[in-house]
Amino acid sequence: MPRTSVSSQCRTCHAATPLKVIRTELTPNGFTSPPRGWNSFPIQANPSITASFSFDQAGVITQCDELAVLGAGYEYCSLDSGWSVGDHGDDYGRITDDPDKFDLPALADHLHSKGLKVGVYVLPGAFCNDADKTIEGTSIKINDTMSGNNNGFARCDFDFAKDGVQQWHNSVVKLFAEWGVDLIKLDYITPGSPDNGGNLPADNSGSVIAFHKAIQNSGREIRLDISWKLDRSSEYFPIWASNADSMRTDQDVNESGSSIFVKWVTVQRAIDNYRDFIASVVKGDSDTLTIYPDMDNLLIGNAASISGVSDVQRQTIATHWFGAAANLIVGSDLTNLDYLGRKLLTDPDALGVAAFAAKFPMQPRNPGTGGLDAKQLQAWVGGPDASTGEAVVVLVNYGPDQGQGGFGTSDSGTQNVTASYEDLGLTGTYNVRNVWQKEDLGSVSGGLSAILDEGESRLFSLMPA
């Protein structure tokens, strides 16, 4: 059995870079934590896994009734692409539900009665087929707001300098609010999203701004999640952080069309993209965040043969998504959760770490230097909280880089992962708890160490002794 131990003295003689504690503050639409819930895309994209699932009102209710049973704060039932009519809107050109599949107001009523919330998926632009329709409450034709670009997804793009663009967004979100929508997932935002067969404009960030303003105008509390693999430069990151509540740091992680949900090589990539995201914040001028990372769907709920990663790796995924303050949107088949999946998703101590990370997201602190680089044997720290001294530490052995991990090393088998408190940017002595194993390590000085197999990690909570 891999062991957890403590380091009683500093094993290095370097002077690690002082820790810059990152804290998350209120998001643009007023949220203090990332969302928890379920999204339909993985079982839509992997139909052989859940052959009985149909992407319609009945199929979604079957999954989301299980979400209500799961509890533990998982509340958003989010519909992905395909819930709406695909080539036109209503009489005002507003996005509307496909009557052959969904009745959104009725679905919202059902889910709200279960204590759940509703999410919908949208793309930038208005339907090209709606060009001659008049925007609700105006005399402006949709065609008069367009830029002339057809983005390849049956939608034409807006010229955000034209009158009527904000009014169109206001009318759409007003309709969503009347239905009872609680989350909008806005996909294919640029710069960032690859074309993926479309003809995306180089910059449609105005769509994010317009949806944010429309949410504010609606008077309803609605989250805005934007994707995918968005530009994190100093020019665009402030736009995302000023208008959206979470942003996709990677592309899709699920194995579309496969008999499994995810591969470890993809998880390595997703973690490295988060590392790059938070490292850019650490290197920046501010120590606060107003947007949460979306590392894509959490695919750990089903048995290893279905999830596609080992049980040890499933726990490591949970540790990283929780510690990163990432969206906890499950993509697993909720009707087929195994014991470990349910435990990982609902463990009170681990969710306590997630609540802490929602204020203090973890950052890399390389063992031996305290740096921010990608490493196969890595350490992470969240906090400490200046008022209580509480902190969270993760030690992990990612195993050999399978091509997208960012670290490029291939040390096989079990490894000793050790991080001194100096490495982690911490000082003093801490009472340490091994969170998943429910093991109190007592008062620990010096640092932390664990013998970890490939893909294995340890999650520690620390309080000053």
Q: How far apart are the first and last CA of the chain?
A: 28
Same domain, yes or no, for 108 and 220? Answer: yes
* 303 and 409 fall within a common domain: no
User: b vs e for 145-174, b when ≥16 Cβ sit within 10 Å of the residue's Cβ?
Assistant: bbbebebebbbbbbebeeebbbbbbbbbbb
| 417 and 387 assigned to the same domain | yes
Do 218 and 342 belong together in one domain? Answer: yes
CATH code: domain of residue 32: 3.20.20.70
**361, 376, 401 — which closes off a domain?**
361
Residues with Cβ within 8 Å of 44's Cβ and at least 6 positions away in sequence, in order, are: 53, 55, 80, 81, 82
- The count of C-alpha atoms lying within 13 angstroms of the C-alpha of 54, restricted to the half-sphere facing its C-beta, is 6
Domain identity same for 90 and 224: yes
* Conformation bin of residue 389: beta by default, left when phi > 0, alpha when psi is -120 to 50: left
* 257: number of Cβ within 10 Å: 9
Does 44 share its domain with 179?
A: yes
Indicate which residue of 80, 182, 187, 225 is catalytic. 187
Residue 360, burial from CB neighbour count under 10 angstroms (0-12, 13-18, 19+): buried
Catalytic residue selected from 80, 225, 245, 252: 252
Q: Specify the pLDDT at position 14.
A: 60
In this structure, the answer to whether residues 442 and 383 fall within a common structural domain is yes
Domain that holds residue 278: 26-361
Q: For residues 273 and 296, what is the distance between their CA atoms, to the nearest angstrom?
A: 11
Q: Does residue 276 sit in the same domain as residue 398?
A: no
Identity at 305, one-letter amino acid code: S
Q: Are 243 and 59 in contact (CB under 8 A)?
A: no
Question: Tell me, what's the pLDDT at 197?
Answer: 84
Q: How far is Cα 185 from Cα 163, in angstroms, rounded to an integer?
A: 25
- Last-in-domain residue among 330, 345, 361: 361
d(CA 73, CA 341): 16
The residue ranges of the chain whose pLDDT is under 50 are: 1-2, 7-13
Give the model confidence (pLDDT) of 67-105 as tens digits: 999 999 999 999 999 999 999 999 999 999 999 999 999
Domain end marker among 309, 342, 361:
361
Q: Say yes or no: 430 and 416 in one domain.
A: yes
pLDDT value for 60: 98
Among residues 247, 424, 417, which one has the least CA distance to residue 324? 247
pLDDT at residue 3, as a whole number: 52
- CATH number of the domain bearing residue 396: 2.60.40.1180
pLDDT for 12:
42
Q: What is the pLDDT of residue 169?
A: 98
User: Chain-wide mean pLDDT for the chain?
Assistant: 96
Clarify whether 80 is annotated catalytic: no
Q: Look at the chain and report how many structural domains it folds into.
A: 2
Alpha-carbon span 140 to 164, nearest angstrom: 6
Based on the residue annotation, tell me whether 373 is a catalytic residue of this protein.
no
Tell whether 206 and 73 lie within a shared domain.
yes
* 345 and 395 assigned to the same domain: no
281 closest CA partner among 316, 324, 318: 324
Q: Are residues 35 and 14 in the same domain?
A: no
